[in-house]
């Protein structure tokens, strides 16, 4: 029936952001060039390196472990970036910011094995832990108020020593390890491989005070072994994605993998033979993007990937198949070409290092041939990192007896755009937070079901005595103009979801997620249903929600996905529905990859001035469908304004089907059909 004219009117105001067209393109191939940037220290390198922004200027700094018998300039070194983008360089600040690194040679050893960054005293500033076989030291960051600002250690630049040379009578021969919140209590503990003496754990009380936890007899019930065969380097990862961070140490003829079961460990049943004569590397990386961490094991008995599936079962793949005569130490994983999967970098002690592009598919791991031309010396530790904030991952590697090498990724001469860097933060309260080591992350579409990446992590140590940067780098082959959900699982038990449109981030496309909150607004169509009481189309002095244009609660609103014909009709699919809340607001979840129709049920509205009938739409947002005054319908409005008579002035409203709905507005997704 034809509706009577009312003095009161219903208006649908769409406040959703309209995205531009997404075009999927093949990522540029990584192209690396050796770049002198001030990191070229020579000397004996036994193991690792690690990146972190210790002075909070937005650029990565780095520490490289070194063990050299000559001069303090060749001991373990701390380098600070000058953050002079786009071509930053580094200054060796060991003498000013961590002079105790040089003093560590008092007992004849440098801290040349494992190094890892993390805020161990929960003050909001990133610290580091470093070790050699007989020394384990914690270096607290003094922050911006320190002397010097962001210096490390006590007033003399010396660390807290948890293990020192005299303790050897108790049995210490430390190799790889790092930082782990093993008990989910919100602070970072220390776990270390202790060669033939098992695995050791130091429990943190939250202030950076550590207690040796794996004393004889395991009185604290860690379940970790107190004796073992020889071993070397380690990886700290929640490999089974249950929220508890696990530990793998390369051991000779004994169990390698220890599964965390809520603060105590049990054998993970994995035993891959290694040799003490070759101290290799190990890392967990999801190569086939199936949501399970696979395992890279270098050298003896062979360098290869072990695919995980089902959970806890690792099967040798035989790939990548390194050249004969290779002896592999360092390992790092990163999406060097921004195509969405993890590539594999290996350092070779006998020849040119290797970068294998990932060609895997779900359930089948494979790699292309290495075309990397760098690192012809005795390679040790390595790590991917975007040191110049240009959106692609570079590689730093250390070489024993030769200079460190920084290989800059020049795939994007003017800067990459299809990437997202994500930090996972643990909320400390009082406005403070720290990097949540052990957190895992994965990208999803806005439906929360469709995975758009493999699983990634913020690790506390892996590779060959190394650690990845404290942010996950996602390449985005689907583009940066669409919304993604970052689903993060934290060692403290929380799982959060944060939606982000990467192209909305100004400058370097880095964001953070935290364990205290979720935010899906970037994946939602949000708007307001309000009543234009006077029917005057919101003159300049009026706004939605004022006395003349009150929001209406209790109105049914639906979201339909267009079937591709660009017209609201019976072929469209109902995606979500809601009832307006306070102020007439609603929120509907959408993938934002297609066109949608938002439909409000006018029959729910009782006009403010009383009377009977159904309100007509007189004010339409951009994208509203309006009557043309001749019994038909105009195409969607190009701008907000008058929309008398709803979509069709002489047709009854039918909220149950898009064809006959009166109050319809278009939401143009990035893959819009026939529209800009």
Average pLDDT estimate for 122-128: 97
Q: What is the pLDDT of residues 382-436, one digit of tens each?
A: 999 999 999 999 999 988 888 889 999 987 655 678 999 999 999 999 999 999 9
pLDDT category of residue 591 using cuts at 50, 70 and 90:
low
Q: What share of the chain is helix, strand, coil (3-state, %, to 5)?
A: 5, 35, 60
Segments making up each domain of the chain, as ranges: 34-409, 419-523, 524-535+547-606+614-675
pLDDT category of residue 595 using cuts at 50, 70 and 90:
confident
Contact 378, 42 (CB under 8 A): no
* Local structure of residue 73 (DSSP, 8 states): G
Q: Distances in Å between the alpha carbon of 555 and those of 8, 319, 601, 658? A: 16, 58, 6, 17
Tell me the range of 36-40, 257-261, 538-542, 587-591 where mean pLDDT is highest.
257-261
Task: Give the pLDDT of residue 530.
Answer: 87
pLDDT category of residue 652 using cuts at 50, 70 and 90:
low
Distance CA 350, CA 546 (A): 75
* Better-scored residue on pLDDT, 470 or 595: 470
pLDDT at 671 over 70: no
pLDDT at 2 over 80: no
Distance CA 231, CA 531 (A): 72
* Local structure of residue 632 (DSSP, 8 states): S
Q: Distances in Å between the alpha carbon of 657 and those of 2, 248, 480, 601? A: 19, 57, 34, 11
Read off the tokens for 585. 């607001």
pLDDT category of residue 219 using cuts at 50, 70 and 90:
confident
Task: Identify the architecture of domain 419-523 in CATH.
Answer: Sandwich (2.60)
Q: Do the first three CATH levels of 34-409 and 524-535+547-606+614-675 match, i.e. the same topology?
A: no
List strands edge to edge, sheet with 257-260: 231-237, 246-251, 257-260, 265-267
Considering Cα of 667, then 673, then 674, then 676, what sign does the dihedral take? positive
Average pLDDT estimate for 530-534: 83
Read off the tokens for 532. 């234009």
Q: What is the pLDDT of residues 294-329, one digit of tens each?
A: 999 998 778 999 999 999 999 999 999 887 667 888
Task: Give the pLDDT of residue 417.
Answer: 85
pLDDT at 3 over 50: no
CATH class of residue range 524-535+547-606+614-675 = mainly beta
Task: Give the pLDDT of residue 259.
Answer: 97
Task: Give the pLDDT of residue 613.
Answer: 53
pLDDT at 500 over 90: yes
pLDDT category of residue 648 using cuts at 50, 70 and 90:
confident
Distance CA 60, CA 497 (A): 26
Q: According to the 3-state scheme, what is the secondary structure of 175-206?
A: CCEEEECCCCCCCCEEEEECHHHCEEEEEECC
Q: Where are the beta strands (DSSP E) in 403-494?
A: 405-409, 419-429, 432-435, 440-444, 456-457, 472-475, 484-489
Task: Give the pLDDT of residue 377.
Answer: 76
Q: Enumerate the β-bridge partners of residue 237.
A: 246
**What pTM does this model have?**
0.85
Mean per-residue pLDDT of the chain: 84
Percent of the chain with pLDDT over 90: 46
Residue with tokens 């929640």: 238
Task: Give the pLDDT of residue 649.
Answer: 67
Task: Give the pLDDT of residue 487.
Answer: 98
Q: What is the pLDDT of residues 23-51, one digit of tens each?
A: 222 345 678 888 999 998 887 767 789 99
* Better-scored residue on pLDDT, 146 or 226: 146
Fold of 34-409: Methylamine Dehydrogenase; Chain H (2.130.10)
* Better-scored residue on pLDDT, 140 or 523: 140
């Amino acid at each position: 029936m034809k509706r009577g004219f009312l003095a009161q009117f219903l208006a649908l105001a769409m406040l959703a952001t309209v995205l531009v067209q997404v075009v999927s393109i093949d990522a540029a191939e990584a192209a690396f060039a050796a770049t002198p940037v001030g990191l070229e220290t020579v000397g004996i390198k036994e193991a690792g390196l690690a990146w972190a922004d210790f002075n909070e200027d937005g650029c990565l700094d780095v520490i490289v472990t070194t063990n050299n018998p000559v001069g303090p300039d060749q001991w373990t070194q701390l380098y600070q970036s000058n953050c002079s983008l786009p071509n930053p360089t580094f200054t060796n600040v060991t003498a000013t910011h961590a002079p105790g690194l040089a003093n560590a040679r008092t007992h004849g050893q440098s801290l040349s094995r494992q190094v890892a960054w993390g805020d161990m005293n929960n003050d909001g500033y990133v610290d580091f832990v470093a070790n050699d076989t007989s020394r384990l030291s914690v270096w607290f960051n003094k922050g911006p108020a320190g002397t010097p600002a962001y210096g490390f250690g006590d007033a003399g630049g010396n660390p807290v020593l948890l293990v020192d040379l005299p303790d050897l009578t108790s049995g210490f021969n430390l190799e790889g390890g790092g930082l782990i919140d093993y008990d989910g209590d919100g602070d970072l503990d220390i776990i270390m491989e202790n060669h033939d003496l098992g695995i050791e754990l130091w429990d943190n009380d939250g202030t950076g005070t550590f207690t040796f936890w794996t004393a004889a007899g395991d009185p604290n019930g860690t379940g970790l072994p107190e004796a073992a065969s020889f071993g070397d380097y380690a990886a700290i990862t929640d490999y089974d994605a249950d929220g508890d961070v696990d530990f793998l140490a390369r051991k000779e003829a004994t169990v390698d993998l220890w599964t965390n079961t809520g603060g105590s460990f049990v054998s993970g049943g994995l035993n891959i033979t290694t040799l003490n004569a070759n101290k290799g590397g190990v890392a967990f990386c999801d190569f086939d993007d199936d949501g399970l961490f696979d395992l890279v094991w270098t050298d003896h008995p062979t360098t290869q990937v072990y695919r995980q599936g089902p959970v806890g079962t690792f099967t040798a793949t035989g790939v990548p198949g390194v050249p004969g005569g290779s002896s592999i130490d360092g390992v790092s994983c990163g999406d060097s070409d921004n195509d969405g999967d993890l590539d594999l970098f290996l350092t070779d002690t006998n020849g040119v290092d290797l970068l294998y592009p990932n060609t895997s598919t779900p359930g089948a791991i494979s790699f292309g041939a290495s075309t990397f031309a760098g690192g012809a010396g005795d390679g040790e530790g390595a790590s991917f990192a975007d040191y110049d904030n240009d959106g692609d991952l570079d590689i730093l590697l250390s070489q024993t007896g030769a200079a460190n090498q920084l290989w800059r990724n020049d795939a994007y001469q003017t800067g990459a755009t299809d990437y997202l860097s994500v930090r996972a933060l643990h909320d400390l309260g009082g406005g403070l937070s720290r990097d949540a080591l052990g957190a895992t992350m994965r990208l999803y579409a806005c439906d929360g079901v469709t995975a758009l990446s493999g699983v990634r992590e913020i690790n506390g140590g892996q590779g060959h005595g190394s650690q990845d940067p404290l942010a996950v780098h996602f390449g985005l082959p689907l583009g940066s103009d669409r919304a993604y959900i970052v689903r993060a699982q934290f060692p403290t038990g929380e799982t959060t979801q944060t939606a982000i449109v990467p192209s909305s981030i100004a400058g370097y496309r880095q964001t953070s997620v935290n364990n205290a909150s979720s935010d899906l607004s970037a994946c939602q169509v949000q708007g307001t249903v309000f009543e234009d009481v006077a029917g005057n189309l919101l003159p300049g002095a009026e706004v939605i929600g004022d006395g003349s244009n009150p929001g209406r609660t209790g109105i049914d609103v639906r979201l339909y996905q267009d079937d591709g014909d660009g017209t609201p009709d019976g072929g469209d699919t109902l995606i979500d529905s809601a009832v307006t809340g306070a102020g007439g607001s609603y929120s509907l979840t959408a993938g934002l990859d297609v066109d949608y129709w938002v439909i409000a049920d006018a029959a729910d509205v009782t006009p403010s001035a009383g009377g009977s009938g159904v309100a007509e739409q007189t004010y339409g947002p951009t994208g509203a469908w309006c009557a043309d005054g001749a019994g038909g319908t105009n195409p969607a409005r190009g701008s907000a304004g008058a929309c008398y008579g709803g979509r069709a002035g002489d047709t009854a409203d039918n909220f149950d089907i898009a064809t006959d709905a009166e109050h319809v507005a278009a939401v143009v997704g990035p893959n819009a059909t026939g529209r800009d």
